Amino acid sequence: MLRTALPKLSQIQRPVRHRLEGVVDELRRIVLSDFPAIEEVNDYLLAVRGKLFRPTLLLLANQIGSNPRPEAVTLAAVVELVHLATLVHDDAVDHSVLRRGMPTVAALWNHQSAIIMGDYLYSRSVSELASLGDVELIRVLSRAANEMSVGEMRQLASCDALQYTETEYYRLIACKTASLMSAACEMGSLAGAREHREALAHYGHQLGMAFQVVDDLLDYTETEAVTGKPSGHDLREHKVTLPLIAALGEMDATTRREVEAFFADPEPTDDGIARVVGLVREYGGLDYARRRAEQFGAEATAALAGLPPGEATDALHDAVTYVIGRRR
């Protein structure tokens, strides 16, 4: 299953292509502002938006069964706005100057504008969600938003990066990434066939876990030309992710001291980053992380077992293969 030809995202999105066009329209409607400073940033964010992967998951989940509802398009836009808000905030917290190869809001405007714009996007999404009048939808999204915030605090509160455990890493990515993908799938089901709610929420969680492990792998394996950000970006910021965690457990004392010296350097060099990447590869960290990503992907696939067959279910299966095999 995980080693078939890699599907393109456009193939996965085919069953909901026309509804995704409506999501773009909804994004513009929801964030519309008569304040020029906000409108300027909104226009930029919508111009450089991502691939609408989370809205795609929501709409596919909504089409499972026979009761898809039109408000799912609005829900998909709301989920994308929450995702955008977290990216704007993350870039401000991390002082990142690039996102997907383009300047961040904080870099183009300033740190304060980035924080305020993240708040604006989130508040508009909550307001739009409230207008739909379904408390359960609000409960699901607010829980995910809370988990994402807790995840950020967990990361900031980590004092000794090299003591970070695999269990702590999974707890972090469950909050930061899997929570919103799970919420997207669950909300799609709530606006459609609610009997599949639990299965789709579990699918979204496992897919999100796989997504983040692969994302962390790409930081070790891909170049800036492919990912749109510098290779080794996490290491440059002294962030410890699964590949390094796994490799550290296999290193001898001398090699570990070399990694410790790298993390003690406040301004790591490109050569230093390349050396650590090489050590992580040598000590099996990349292979271990790939296996764990595949295991999470297999769990996501298993969650789909009881769903009715159809284009949407097939696309969710393809999404697993896409996430495991993606290169950016």
Could you tell me the two tokens for 11?
A: 């193939």
User: How many C-beta atoms lie closer than 10 Å to residue 135's C-beta?
Assistant: 9
Name the residue type at position 135: V
Q: Are the C-beta atoms of residues 1 and 308 closer than 8 Å to each other?
A: no
- Residue 157: is it exposed, middle or buried by C-beta count within 10 angstroms (0-12/13-18/19+)? exposed
Distance (Å, whole) CA 271 – CA 146 = 38
Distance (Å, whole) CA 125 – CA 121 = 6
What are residue 99's DSSP bridge partners?
Answer: 102
pTM for the model stands at 0.93
H or E, element range at 230: none
Q: Are the C-beta atoms of residues 179 and 148 closer than 8 Å to each other?
A: yes
Name the residue type at position 123: S
Question: Could you give the C-alpha distances from 66 to 63, 89, 90, 309, in angstroms and in order?
Answer: 7, 38, 38, 11
User: How many C-beta atoms lie closer than 10 Å to residue 305's C-beta?
Assistant: 7
Could you tell me the two tokens for 15?
A: 């069953």
H or E, element range at 98: strand 98-99
Q: What is the pLDDT along the chain (328 residues), one digit of tens a residue?
A: 444 578 999 999 999 999 999 999 999 999 998 888 899 998 988 888 889 999 999 999 999 987 889 999 999 999 999 999 999 998 888 888 888 778 999 899 998 999 999 999 999 999 999 999 999 999 999 999 999 999 988 877 766 789 999 999 999 999 999 999 999 999 999 999 999 999 999 999 999 999 999 999 999 998 765 554 447 888 998 999 999 999 999 999 999 999 999 999 999 999 999 999 999 999 999 999 999 999 999 999 999 999 999 999 999 999 999 999 987 7
Distance (Å, whole) CA 293 – CA 179 = 16
Q: Are the C-beta atoms of residues 92 and 106 closer than 8 Å to each other?
A: yes
Structure confidence at residue 99 (pLDDT): 81
> What are residue 99's phi and psi, to 5 degrees?
-140, 120
Eight-class DSSP state of 161: G
- C-alpha of 292 from chain center: 17
Helical spans, DSSP H, in the chain:
9-13, 17-31, 36-47, 53-62, 72-94, 105-108, 111-131, 135-157, 166-173, 179-190, 197-221, 224-227, 233-236, 242-248, 253-264, 270-282, 285-303, 311-325
Could you tell me the two tokens for 232?
A: 């080794």
Distance (Å, whole) CA 270 – CA 207 = 32
Q: 């639990």: which residue's tokens?
A: 198
Structure confidence at residue 18 (pLDDT): 95
Question: Could you give the C-alpha distances from 64 to 20, 158, 242, 272, in angstroms and in order?
Answer: 16, 40, 33, 49
Distance (Å, whole) CA 281 – CA 290 = 12
Eight-class DSSP state of 49: -
Structure confidence at residue 260 (pLDDT): 96
3-state secondary structure of 71: coil
